Amino acid sequence: MREVPRHRFVPQSQLAHAYDDRPLPIGEGQTISQPYIVALMTELARVKPGDQVLEIGTGSGYQAAVLAQMGVKLFSIEIIEPLAKRAKATLAALGYSKNVEVRHGDGYAGWPEHAPFHAILVTAAPPTIPEPLKQQLRVGGRLIIPVGKRYQSLLKVTRTEEGFRQETVIPVRFVPMTGEAQGE
């Protein structure tokens, strides 16, 4: 994380706070996650170079840059088009575009044409775990996702030969997942 310039992923108005351990507004009613949460989610995902990873909620692109710095092949989906365009441009300017593909769209259904994934990280909270995301994990793969409406928990879901194992990690507060997740 020390190698990723977080200040490049925040608006000019937030530069003085770019390295504070707290979420910051990035426009469009969205936030960049606090560094502690980015580190925790990355650690829980247990990714290694060459892993194929899906991120739902590109936001500013900061989490994507951290994962790309670790050598994964990342597919990231952002539902808010101006954020998707800005993140794609920032990631390209910093040289991460060879490891990261960003697309604008609803991440609820994942990115099936690139599945199965070693890990899936979700940075917006749906009310329940989207079944399509679970199905796009490879055996041994990890889904790191905040779940809930007003009160949320960060969950780690691991796909096993027998099904899925779910662990509650910590209480969290993320922006709600929009799009198809709102219909739940």
Please pick, among 13, 33, 60, 76, the residue that the annotation labels catalytic. 33
Phi-psi region of 118 (alpha: psi -120 to 50; beta: other; left: phi over 0): alpha
- Stretch (H or E) spanning 75: strand 73-78
Token pair in block for residue 170: 């910590």
- 22: Cβ–Cβ under 8 A, 6 or more apart, which residues? 34
Active site residue 33: yes
In residues, how long is the chain?
A: 184
DSSP 36-67: HHHHHHHHHHT--TT-EEEEE--TTSHHHHHH
Phi-psi region of 50 (alpha: psi -120 to 50; beta: other; left: phi over 0): left
- Active-site residue set: 33
